[in-house]
Amino acid sequence: MKNMRKNKISHKKYKFTYINVTASVLFAGLLFVKGYTPYQESEENLFHIRVNGREVGALGDKALADDLLQQARRNVVSSSDELVFLETEMTIAGETVLWGEVDPEEEVLRKMEEALRADILETMHRAYTLKINEYIINLGSMEEVRQLLQAAVNKYDSEAKFAVELAYDREREFGVYTASIVDPADQESDKGQSYTEAGVQSFFTETYVEEDVTEEKDFGDYDLGILCMNFFEEVEVAEAYLPASQITGLEEAINLVIMEQETPSIYEVVGGDTLSEIALKVNIPMDTIVEMNPDVLENVNSTLHIGDKLVITVPEPELSVTRVEQRFYDESYDAEIIYIDNDAWYTTDVVERQAPSAGFRKVVAEVSFLNDKEVSREILKEEVVMEAVPKVVERGTKIPPTYIKPLYGGRITSTFGYRPRPNVAGATSNHQAVDWATPTGTAIYASSGGTVSRAGWIGSYGYAIYIDHEDGKQTRYAHLSKILVTPGQKVRQGERIALSGNTGASTGPHVHFEMRVRGVAVDPLKYVPR
């Protein structure tokens, strides 16, 4: 009985041991089944991964999920030349299971990439920023930058001789290129010389140049055409990453940068300025300037005042090109005027003694341009085919006398020119003087120095004085009450010669002041102040 119980206990023990061994073998087998994670009694062993809210799979290693996400980010970013900003949010839900099915790493990585691409925040495209002084424009490729700059060159390079060169600036911290205009033919010739050859060539070139200084070139010896070109502004190109909205297409960029844009500016009138001179300065027709400034100018004859501000809209491109050309041309020319000074004449006396005639010459000149505008010209060689005949002018050197108002005070009652005739209704008369109303007895002074030619009663003038002056003018003072000089008397400017009155054909006390040039009456107010 006892043995039977013992055997029964042993049997149960063996049975339990068998079950345990069997379970252990099965569990151990599960460890080697692909796609399953082993059971860990104390820790989570199955992790469900979500990226940006999307299920991407399950893994048996939490750290592996972080590694795969970093790899997915690298793969998305490096798949194109663009710079992308990614929305990245990963959640991991862990659990403890006896065994759990996991996804292949490659599948989880692929789904992570899909989730990241679906939630790209912004794509920054590779671009090139062209900076022209302070003006900036962005293009999609370096080739487009080169084409844009070349278009600026081609606009003025009629010979299709020059090309744009972009050189990397190694001294700059970031990727920056500088632009210049070169002649490829010159570069090729430089490449063909060794250092030694270049040195020898330089020596002989310098020697020959020194010898040729004394030799005069013939017209056929000049290298006509464009000698050199360059950008007027400082031009730089920098690499960048930008959104598509900030990148300009090539055709639009050419229109913005190369085509002339209307840039308004203000011109302030200074002393001596005339509208014609301003038009020449800014290279805009006078009519156009008038149209731009209706508040200041009525027409081309409008008077300008110092300080007037004129709006001048000058079309200019954002990128300008300078060039130097050697040109051959024929031209007519005028000889310089020859002046003959006559010390016995006043400076107002000018007589043409010989009429001019244009000459003709052949010229080689070096001409500098800013875009299409000529900025300088240097004559290198000229040959006169037909001599010009100069204009010969005889002119006086003596300073003509000045004239002053013949009285102090007074009120102008009649100016030079036509006026209603006194005491005759509807009639007019040509008044050949200026009248100042003043009380009888007011002192009258000589307007300028001269000789008294007449003094006394002179018809309708009443009491009057005539004074002849050295510059050929004559002044007359009429309607006087008293005469203080005699004919033949020399008088000085400002000397008292009479007292005002109301004699002769006069309608009230005043002084009648008349001025004649070689016998012809002129407006006195053009020569004396009011």
- Asked whether residue 9 is assigned to any structural domain, the reply reads no
Q: Band of the pLDDT at 522, cuts 50, 70, 90?
A: very high
d(CA 37, CA 45): 7
- Which backbone phi and psi does 495 adopt, to 5 degrees? -75, 135
List the CATH number of the domain containing 270.
3.10.350.10
pLDDT at 508 over 90: yes
Q: What is the mean pLDDT of residues 397-416?
A: 91
Nearest to 54 by CA among 104, 123, 111: 111
Predicted TM-score (pTM) above 0.75: no
* Cβ neighbours for 23, distance < 8 A, ≥ 6 positions apart: none
pLDDT at 408 over 90: yes
Cβ burial 221-254 (10 Å sphere, 16+ → b, else e): ebeeebeebbbebebbbbebebeeeebbebeebb
Q: Band of the pLDDT at 8, cuts 50, 70, 90?
A: very low
Beta strands in 275-372 (DSSP E): 309-316, 321-333, 338-346, 350-354, 359-370
pLDDT at 259 over 90: no
* Residue 189 identity (one-letter amino acid): S
- pLDDT at residue 189 in the model: 60
pLDDT at 323 over 80: yes
- pLDDT at residue 35 in the model: 59
Please tell me which residue, 219 or 31, carries the higher pLDDT value. 219
Q: What is the mean pLDDT of residues 302-314?
A: 84
d(CA 135, CA 128): 14
- pLDDT at residue 21 in the model: 41
- Asked whether residue 406 is assigned to any structural domain, the reply reads no
- pLDDT at residue 428 in the model: 74
Residues 383, 489: one domain? no
List the CATH number of the domain containing 369.
2.20.230.10
Residues 196, 228: one domain? yes
Residues 237, 141: one domain? yes
Beta bridge pairs of residue 324:
228, 368
- Asked whether residue 369 is assigned to any structural domain, the reply reads yes
Nearest to 224 by CA among 327, 144, 129: 327
Residues 146, 212: one domain? yes
d(CA 496, CA 446): 6
- pLDDT at residue 456 in the model: 96
Q: What is the mean pLDDT of residues 126-132?
A: 89
d(CA 148, CA 190): 27
List the CATH number of the domain containing 453.
2.70.70.10
Please tell me which residue, 484 or 308, carries the higher pLDDT value. 484
- Asked whether residue 24 is assigned to any structural domain, the reply reads no
Residues 240, 137: one domain? yes
- pLDDT at residue 12 in the model: 47
- Asked whether residue 389 is assigned to any structural domain, the reply reads yes
Instruction: For residue 18, give both structure tokens.
Output: 């068998």
- Asked whether residue 68 is assigned to any structural domain, the reply reads yes
pLDDT at 373 over 90: no
Please answer whether residues 481 and 441 qualify as being in contact, where contact means their C-beta atoms are separated by less than 8 angstroms. Answer: yes
d(CA 68, CA 79): 16
Q: Is 370 left (phi over 0), alpha (psi -120 to 50) or beta?
A: beta
Residues 369, 471: one domain? no
Task: List the domain range (segments joined by +) for residue 94.
Answer: 36-118
Tell which of 270, 288, 316 closes a domain.
316
Q: What is the mean pLDDT of residues 465-492?
A: 95
Residues 114, 134: one domain? no
d(CA 453, CA 516): 13
Beta strands in 33-162 (DSSP E): 36-37, 46-51, 54-59, 83-86, 90-95, 100-101, 120-132, 135-139
Instruction: For residue 174, give both structure tokens.
Output: 């970031």
Encode pLDDT of 412-443 as tens digits. Answer: 999 998 877 666 666 678 899 999 999 999 99
Residues 439, 501: one domain? yes
Q: What is the CA radius of gyration of the chain?
A: 51
Tell which of 118, 148, 172 closes a domain.
118
Residues 311, 328: one domain? no
Residues 419, 501: one domain? yes
- pLDDT at residue 501 in the model: 97
Domain count, the chain: 5
- Asked whether residue 431 is assigned to any structural domain, the reply reads yes
Rounded to 10 deg, the angle between the 62-78 and 105-118 helix axes is: 50
Place of tokens 């840039």: 263
Please answer whether residues 522 and 516 qualify as being in contact, where contact means their C-beta atoms are separated by less than 8 angstroms. Answer: yes
Residues 392, 464: one domain? no
Tell which of 217, 244, 271 closes a domain.
244
d(CA 283, CA 294): 19
Would you list the DSSP string of 371-410? Answer: TTEEEEEEEEEEEEEEPPBPPEEEEEEEPPPP---SSSS-
- Sign of the torsion formed by the C-alpha atoms of 490, 494, 500 and 505: positive
- pLDDT at residue 205 in the model: 41
Please answer whether residues 506 and 414 qualify as being in contact, where contact means their C-beta atoms are separated by less than 8 angstroms. Answer: no
pLDDT at 28 over 80: no
- Asked whether residue 421 is assigned to any structural domain, the reply reads yes
Nearest to 499 by CA among 486, 524, 485, 480: 480
Q: Is 339 left (phi over 0), alpha (psi -120 to 50) or beta?
A: beta
Residues 444, 484: one domain? yes
d(CA 286, CA 280): 9
Beta bridge pairs of residue 91:
50
